[in-house]
Amino acid sequence: MIQVYPDPESLSRAAAALLVTQANLAVAARGRFSVALSGGTTPRRTYELLAAPPWVDQGPWGRVHVFWGDERCVPLTDPRSNARLAKEAWLDRVPIPADQIHPLNCARDPADAARQYEAQLREFFAGQPPRLDLVLLGLGDDGHTASLFPGAPVLKEGERWAAAVCLAEPDLHRVTLTAPLINQAAMVAFLVAGKSKADVLREVLHGPYDPERLPAQLIQPQPGKLFWLTDQEAAALVPAG
Ligand code: 6PG
């Protein structure tokens, strides 16, 4: 389902409301809420809103468990770190217990970090299906999401839950959750804003299925729900309805 908002601010408010709503539903049903956060620039405002009224007063923060959909393999203090982005904008400002926040630290050894992250997830799900309650994702203008980049070997990963991704340009390794893991989530929400995403959003949603070229097309959660939260600029080329 695609929801188009007038501007990035209203998109961010809708995303904050979605996360808090899903968190309270999950806590009421199962006593905890697990979310995998996206990096990039789009979600920053959502994270800031989650640390401010009304949402800061509504979240069941003591029952929230935070993971990341992907991370750049830089120190967690590096301005490029996705964990630093979320901690500065939100997580350092709400009472989520520190042991419930699981940053992905792959600065030293991406492959080992991916193995360790998968082990953390397996411990968290304790033999049950790895059904994250919510995965937030962004969309790159090349059709990537998380760190699932066009043509990358990880696109064909069918078993592992996390994998290292070696990018030549820029010279920046990453670790990403894999599509099979993301697709087991109860809900996946893409946050897509800005006119630079209009072409790729139309291609991903209405173009031929070509996940090698458009990895975001791999994300088809079943039986989970898939939402696209966009602003008018990003949705400008998406056929109405
Ligand atoms: C990352 C993200 C990445 C991001 C997209 C969109 O680590 O960069 O996980 O997948 O979501 O590149 O980024 P923007 O929101 O900055 O356009």
| Domain CATH for 83 | 3.40.50.1360
pLDDT at 168 over 90: no
Has residue 236 been placed in a domain?
A: no
- CA 30 remoteness from chain centre: 21
CB of 41 closer than 6 angstroms to any ligand 1 atom: yes
pLDDT at 116 over 80: yes
Distance 240 CA to ligand 1 centre (A): 25
Has residue 99 been placed in a domain?
A: yes
pLDDT the model gives residue 241 = 67
- Is the pTM value of this prediction over 0.95? yes
Pocket probe for ligand 1: among 139, 167, 218, the residue whose CB has the most ligand atoms within 8 Å is: 139
Please tell me the residue having the least CA distance from ligand 1 atom 15: 42
Average pLDDT over residues 142-170: 94
Give the chain as a DSSP string: -EEEESSHHHHHHHHHHHHHHHHHHHHHHHS-EEEEE--SSTTHHHHHHHTSTTGGGT--GGGEEEEESEEESS-TTSTT-HHHHHHHHTGGGS---GGGB-----SS-HHHHHHHHHHHHHHHHTTS----SEEEE---TTS-BTTB-TT-GGGG--S-SEEEEEETTTTEEEEEE-HHHHTTSSEEEEEE-SGGGHHHHHHHHHS---TTT-GGGG---SSSEEEEEEETTTTTTSPP-
Q: How many domains does the chain have?
A: 1
Query: Could you identify the atom of ligand 1 that is nearest to the CA of residue 41?
Result: 16
pLDDT at 169 over 90: no
pLDDT at 89 over 70: yes
pLDDT at 223 over 80: yes
For 104, counting Cβ atoms within 10 Å of its Cβ (0-12 exposed, 13-18 middle, 19+ buried), the class is buried
Please tell me the residue having the least CA distance from ligand 1 atom 13: 40
Has residue 241 been placed in a domain?
A: no
Query: What is the Cα–Cα distance from 102 to 141, expressed in whole angstroms?
Result: 28
pLDDT the model gives residue 180 = 98
pLDDT the model gives residue 167 = 82
User: In this prediction, what percent of the chain has a pLDDT beyond 70?
Assistant: 98
2-60 residue pLDDT tens = 999 999 999 999 999 999 999 999 999 999 999 999 999 999 999 999 999 999 999 99
Has residue 9 been placed in a domain?
A: yes
Query: Could you identify the atom of ligand 1 that is nearest to the CA of residue 42?
Result: 15
CB of 39 closer than 6 angstroms to any ligand 1 atom: yes
CA-closest candidate to residue 192, choices 42, 86, 41: 42
Average pLDDT over residues 125-150: 97
Has residue 62 been placed in a domain?
A: yes
Has residue 11 been placed in a domain?
A: yes
Sheet holding 33-37, edge to edge: 2-5, 225-231, 187-192, 134-137, 33-37, 64-68
Distance 148 CA to ligand 1 centre (A): 10
Has residue 235 been placed in a domain?
A: no
Average pLDDT over residues 74-81: 95
24-38 residue pLDDT tens = 999 999 999 999 999
Has residue 135 been placed in a domain?
A: yes
CB of 140 closer than 6 angstroms to any ligand 1 atom: yes
Range of the domain at 156: 2-217
Please tell me the residue having the least CA distance from ligand 1 atom 12: 140
Average pLDDT over residues 158-171: 88
